[in-house]
Amino acid sequence: MVRVRFAPSPTGYLHIGSARTFIFNWLFARHNAGTMILRIDDTDVERNTRESLDSIFEGLAWLGLDWDEFYRQSERGKLHTSLANHLVGRGLAYRDFAPARTADDGAPEAGAAGWLFNPEMRELSQGESDARAASGEPFVIRFRVPRDAGGVVTFRDAVYGEQSKSTSDIEDFALLRSSGVPTYHMASCADDIDLKITHIIRGQDHLANTFKHVLLFEAAGAPVPQFAHLPLLIAPDGAKLSKRKHGPVVSVTSYRDAGFLPEAFINFVALLGWNPKDDREHLNRDELVAAFTLAGVNKSNAVINFSEQEPFDPKAVWLNGQHIYKLPAAQLAPQLAPFLRSAGLEADEGKVLAVTPLIQERIRLLRDVVSVADFFFLEKLAPYDPAELIPQKGDRAMALRVLEKAHQLLAAVEFIHPAIESAFRAAAEELHVKAGQMFLPVRVAVCGRKNAPPLFETIEVLGREVSVQRVGEAIGKLQGTAL
RNA sequence: GGCGCUAUCGUCUAACGGUUAGGACGGAGCCCUCUCAAGGCUUAAAUACGGGUUCGAUUCCCGUUAGCGCUACCA
């Protein structure tokens, strides 16, 4: 039975890299009919925030990804400390009474002599250790890394293969802080053991920590889970993604706010560091679940390609356009409406549904609906230059002739788009203008711009009254200007 | 500094010793077309460098270089 967990620490917003880790775990769990666990790793009380927790829930809710079990590490402290104390009791960990050594206050450089552990503390007699603890002297509990000559820790990573590291390169890491609060390593392993996690799928930044974890699992007498480390997501400059440096692209909510479809986002992110081994790029959620295996995960970091001009990876945007295009209009329309409304447009449900098929293949982000379809919802068209009404190789007189003819037709014709179109094509012939010369002035009159959805469907949706009125206004504009 | 990991078009990636090094996004061009899209076709664009091993290396080994990660009483 597969049991996997996503274990974010609530310090910040839901990062795209974290979201990807969740997605990979989730896909793996669902593919294997296993259990997905969400565990909040909040042992570092000082850095946790409520907002951050909320943003994790918010992001996952948007993605529509679920989990089967939920835990909060801070509520499981007893489990962690008791395992730490158990290890002390068995001589596998020890109390260290030395003052904290941090990088800035003179800790020995990693690799330098005396870096791995403080022999004085490591070899303290049981009696003295107990006495000093009893006297209230503060201490941290450190793992006693085996120091046999030639000792090596090994494990097999599902992505990176056989891994090994000499124990002489592993320090006696802390398990419990002097405050008694467990460290990440302790809490994480104790929980992984207790929750019977079978596969640990996480960022590659934990690869080097894994040797410590293997040691801890073994010391606790627990089976060592399978590991799969994921290549990291990085910025175009090669740096890791940070909100301060790279802006909103790193936050999941900004994808939502720009109008990505959750399924498209998942599709895009799944393809970063994983591929289905065939040429498919567009995969829906079920297809991803069916195709996902750890064997398809690759080893090198993936760049999310964005810039000031293009705030989102062009491939993500393209993929989103594909997902939008494939979505039934009835499902898309309700997702479009909020973007229209927040732009101050009155987005009547029925009208949005009627407009949707006309713009579906013209938008790549949901928010594009505003710039593409605003004129459907505007009472009064935004002002445009009357010169726009003049067709190619035509002049003001031609525009006027065309518009006047259109004005008559629109008032009389049967108001369905094939009928409108054939009437217009016949009129073009009658007026001795090309179809394009006939259509352009009308398009501008009705949409207020040269680039728009197909003319006749647009007119049909707009309705007779509005269309006639707008063409009339265009005639007025043209007459009122000398061009 | 020490330890670990990685290295194919600009970007995401395929090719588990033998391919004209494939696909996708983006770029360029053409076609389709009432504009814009969408779609179709064509095209430019990559194996970091140097040594091995091999009849034959993108692929295996070593070194160099570069990037990333870990090296806390952060996670």
Beta strands in A250-390 (DSSP E): 302-303
Structural domain A78-176, CATH architecture:
Alpha-Beta Complex (3.90)
Residue A56: predicted pLDDT: 93
A143-190 residue pLDDT tens: 999 998 888 999 999 999 999 999 999 999 999 999 999 999 999 999
- Give every strand in the sheet of A140-143, ordered side by side: A93-96, A140-143, A174-176
CA atoms lying within 13 Å on the CB side of residue A479: 10
Would you call A245 a catalytic residue per the annotation? no
Protein-to-nucleotide distance from the CA of A318 to the C1' of B43, whole angstroms? 21
Q: Which residue is nearest to nucleotide B66 (CA to C1')?
A: A238
Spatial separation of the C-alpha atoms in residues A384 and A452, rounded to whole Å = 14
Q: Which residue is nearest to nucleotide B10 (CA to C1')?
A: A305
Residue ranges, chain A, pLDDT below 70: 45-46, 101-114, 482-483
Q: Which CATH number fits domain A386-479: 3.30.750.24, 1.10.10.350, 2.30.42.10, 3.10.20.340?
A: 1.10.10.350
Residue A269: predicted pLDDT: 97
Q: Which CATH number fits domain A3-72+184-234: 3.40.50.1370, 3.40.50.620, 3.40.30.10, 3.60.21.10?
A: 3.40.50.620
Spatial separation of the C-alpha atoms in residues A475 and A464, rounded to whole Å = 17
How far is residue A191 from each of residues A82, A185, A206, measured CA to CA in Å? 12, 10, 16
Topology agreement, domain A78-176 and domain A329-377: no
| Residues 460-479 of A with CB within 7 A of strand B | none
Spatial separation of the C-alpha atoms in residues A83 and A87, rounded to whole Å = 6
State whether CATH 1.10.1070 applies to domain A329-377.
Answer: no
Q: Is A297 helix (H, G, I), strand (E, B) or coil?
A: strand
Q: Does strand B come within 7 Å of the CB of A218? A: no
Burial A30-60 (b: 16+ CB within 10 A, else e): bbbebbbbbbbbbbbeeebeeebbebbebbb
Contact A262, A62 (CB under 8 A): yes
Spatial separation of the C-alpha atoms in residues A233 and A227, rounded to whole Å = 19
Neighbours of A400 (CB within 10 A): 17
A103-135 residue pLDDT tens: 444 455 555 656 788 888 999 999 999 999 999
Angle at A98 between CA A94 and CA A104, to 5 degrees: 120
Query: What are the sequence ranges of the domains in chain A?
Result: 3-72+184-234, 78-176, 243-324, 329-377, 386-479
- The contacts of residue A465 (CB under 8 Å, 6+ apart) are none
Q: Does strand B come within 7 Å of the CB of A177? A: yes
A349-358 residue pLDDT tens: 999 999 999 9
Q: Does strand B come within 7 Å of the CB of A326? A: no
Residue A108: predicted pLDDT: 57
CATH topology of domain A243-324: Glutamyl-tRNA Synthetase; domain 2 (1.10.1160)
Protein-to-nucleotide distance from the CA of A300 to the C1' of B63, whole angstroms? 21
